[in-house]
Amino acid sequence: MEYVESLVVRGDELFEAAEAEIEHSRAESAAKFREGVAQLLKAFLHLHEEDADGGLEQLFAACKRLEPSLEAIEDEVKLLLDAPESVDSEDLIDAANEIWDYVIDLISE
């Protein structure tokens, strides 16, 4: 459980850094959000004793195989993967926070 907690803490740090960076560089902010989400997904996979390798897309697919309800945040994940620089800063933050809330709830169960 300590490893899972360390992944969540690192994810939180990345989210905070991403929010601080959003006005200066949306691309850099999006990269930090992607890495933060990856940390959460790795934590979820570790809890289920699954391999946590690959990029965000692979991690999300592996998590969806274990928890199909993650489809509820698929649009938000796609936003982070596809074109985060083309959306409003607030929409980017909202999408990342939506992912955070959903995955944290799953980890906390």
- Give residue-wise pLDDT tens across range 30-64: 999 999 999 999 999 999 999 888 999 999 999 99
* pLDDT surpasses 90 at 101: yes
- Tell me what pLDDT residue 78 has: 93
Task: Please tell me the total count of domains within the chain.
Answer: 1
On average, the pLDDT of the chain sits at 93
Domain extent, residue 29, equals 2-108
- Tell me what pLDDT residue 64 has: 97
- Tell me what pLDDT residue 98 has: 97
pLDDT tens per residue, range 12-23 = 999 999 999 998
- Tell me what pLDDT residue 106 has: 95
Nearest partner of 9 among 36, 48, 34, judged by Cα: 36
- Tokens 């699954």 map to which residue? 50
The answer to whether the Cα torsion of 75, 91, 43, 28 is positive or negative is: positive
Q: Are 18 and 33 in contact (CB under 8 A)?
A: yes
Q: Are 30 and 69 in contact (CB under 8 A)?
A: no
CATH number for 56: 1.20.120
pTM above 0.85, yes or no: yes
